[in-house]
């Protein structure tokens, strides 16, 4: 069964923790993770696709003169609004 919930909804339902979202944001901003982030609950999110799909995040991440502190909330918003890939057993 396909799961069309957003990362934010899954956080509200305690299926993904806020700490995991923070880890995904930091991994994206540091460039230390492949494009797909695996959450402990089995949900997967393509971080690059999530940022590219969010107009504000895409704009701020693409600016070389914008610091990490300004990019972080936009990247986080992009992830919270994104729909993850379903767990492998769904």
- Chain segment 9-52, per-residue pLDDT in tens: 999 999 999 999 999 999 999 987 778 899 988 899 999 999 99
Phi and psi dihedrals of 75, rounded to 5? -65, -45
Q: pLDDT tens digit string along 50-86?
A: 999 998 898 888 888 888 888 999 999 999 999 998 7
Burial 12-34 (b: 16+ CB within 10 A, else e): eeebbeeebbeebbeebeeeeee
Cβ–Cβ under 8 Å, residues 45 and 85 = yes
pLDDT at 6 over 90: yes
pLDDT of residue 3: 57
pTM above the 0.85 mark?
Answer: yes
Give the contacts of 17 (CB within 8 A, at least 6 positions apart).
Answer: 11, 40
């Amino acid at each position: 069964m396909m799961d069309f919930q957003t990362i934010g909804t899954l956080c509200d339902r305690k299926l993904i923790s806020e700490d995991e979202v923070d880890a995904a944001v930091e991994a994206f901003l540091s460039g230390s993770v492949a494009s797909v982030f695996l959450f402990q609950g089995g949900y997967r999110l393509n971080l690059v696709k999530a940022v590219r799909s969010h107009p504000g995040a895409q704009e701020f991440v693409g600016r070389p003169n914008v610091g990490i502190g300004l990019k972080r909330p936009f990247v986080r918003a992009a992830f919270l609004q994104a729909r993850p890939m379903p767990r492998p057993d769904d």
